[in-house]
Amino acid sequence: MGKSKRIFVIADFKDEKTWSIFVDERRIVKGFIRLGQDVQRFSHRNMVMQCSPLPSKRLARYFAIKKAKEVLLKQIKYYYPDIVLAFNMKYLNPETVLAMREQAPNTIFIGRDGDPFPEKFPARLATAKEMDIVIMPSAGRFLQTYKDAGVKCCAFIPFCCDPDIQYKYEMEDKWQTDIVFTGTAEHSRLQRNDDRYNITKRLSQMPNAKLYGCFGRPKTDGLDSFRALSNAKIGLSINIANDVRLYHSDRFINIQACGTFTLAKRTPGYELMFIDGMHLKYFDTVDDFFQLADWYLKHEQEREKIAQAGMKRAHSEFNCERIAQLMLDLVEKGTYQAQWAEIL
């Protein structure tokens, strides 16, 4: 094995939350460490709150952001990183990235944006221009937006899973249900996706479905997030945007990693990741979803066969070590090898 790289990761690790174990950033850090790299975490929002004399998160942004920036720059200066990976570019600005570059002039800077519609966030695009690489769990026009903004290298990097804690859990009465959905019915800052809202609204009225995080229902905490997925017969995967090539949320990977049969809204490019009828089933309309759900609830053998194949695929192709390695390949070679690779 070659010399370990020092990787400085800036993210919102949500250290104060019980569901911090659920965030993708945690999995990527674990993947890097498993690969023998050294990782220094910097939980930006938590640092801002720690530096603030006020308990309000909104006020802390004004009173502590300068101090948090000083801490960030000092840590980077004395860590001598080979790579700086900014998972949340919304917490940075171009001036901060340039200041980090002054402290670490030979470092590769990577920014990641997991949100859809990047054109709606011009400040984030400005920050991205100062990065060497921008990665997204999306190709298509979302990734092209960053390329058009002047980013040198833009690449599709999917969300990942952690087979150590994402697998088929033992059945518990508390979590068992026919259909599960985790997440919001609509995005607070974006236009409503009618299919997503209409499906989840109908599910919220069904006694054999459980929803977490929408319509006033609480989120799950810690490993219970994976138990909730694992104990369902069917998991719903649908995005805010379903017409953009390869765009997905972590839900798309999480459901399959937990061994649950997945019904996913068909999106361009998905067949390169998971094959219809082999690893999961795709649906096209609201009626299509409920017809497929009804059929697979009545055909357990077919449902479980696909669920097992989907979990195997998620664990082998999208585990955190493999996705972390693809990021390293992108840095070292300018490319990576995967059937679904997209680099601009």
What is the amino acid identity at position 6? R
Asked if residue 122 and residue 97 are part of one domain, the reply reads yes
Q: Are 295 and 266 in contact (CB under 8 A)?
A: no
Would you say residue 271 lies in a domain? yes
Q: Are residues 306 and 261 in the same domain?
A: yes
User: Could you say which DSSP state residue 280 is in?
Assistant: B
Give pLDDT, residue 191. Answer: 64
Residue 337 has pLDDT above 90, yes or no: yes
What kind and span of H or E run contains 182? strand 177-182
Q: Are 264 and 280 in contact (CB under 8 A)?
A: yes
Kindly state the average pLDDT of the residues 300-309.
99
Residues counted in the chain? 344
On whether both 257 and 326 belong to a single domain, the answer is: no
Residue 220 tokens, joined: 């799950």
Q: How far apart are CA 173 and CA 69, in angstroms?
A: 47
Q: Are residues 54 and 127 in the same domain?
A: yes
At 234 the three-state DSSP class reads strand
CATH of the domain at 184: 3.40.50.2000
Contact 134, 111 (CB under 8 A): yes
Residue 166 placed within a domain: no
Question: Quick one: 155 and 14 in the same domain?
Answer: yes
Mean pLDDT of 235-261: 97
Q: What is the pLDDT of residues 39-95, one digit of tens each?
A: 999 987 777 767 666 666 666 566 677 888 899 999 999 999 999 999 989 889 999
Print the domain residue range for 90: 6-160+320-333
Cα(306)–Cα(38) distance, rounded to whole angstroms?
37
Q: What pLDDT was estimated at residue 210?
A: 97
Q: Let me know if residue 234 belongs to a domain.
A: yes
Asked if residue 109 and residue 182 are part of one domain, the reply reads: no
CA 95 – CA 55 distance, rounded (Å): 27
pTM of the predicted structure, to 2 decimals: 0.93
Q: What is the CB neighbour count within 10 angstroms for residue 293?
A: 25
Specify whether 145 is located in the same domain as 14: yes
- Tell me: pLDDT of 1 over 60: no
Regarding whether 153 and 260 lie in a shared domain, the answer is: no
Q: Are residues 222 and 296 in the same domain?
A: yes
Cα–Cα distance measured from residue 137 to residue 254, given in angstroms and rounded to the nearest whole number: 14
Residue 171 lies in a domain: no
Specify the pairing of strand 83-86 against strand 38-43. Answer: unpaired
Tokens of 53: 């004399």
Query: Do 208 and 153 share a structural domain?
Result: no
Q: Does one domain contain both 188 and 284?
A: yes
Q: What is the pLDDT of residue 54?
A: 61
% residues pLDDT > 70 (the chain): 94
Residue 165 belongs to some domain of the structure: no
Residue 133 lies in a domain: yes
The total domain count for the chain is: 2
What's the rounded Cα separation, in Å, for the pair 125 and 225?
Answer: 32
Tell me, yes or no, whether 340 lies in a domain.
no
Closest CA to 202 of 217, 190, 220, 185: 185
Q: Are residues 205 and 137 in the same domain?
A: no
pLDDT tens profile 188-200: 665 667 899 999 9
52 part of a folded domain: yes
Give percent of the chain above pLDDT 90: 80
Residue 103: alpha-carbon gap to chain centroid: 29
DSSP β-ladder status, 232-237 and 261-265: parallel
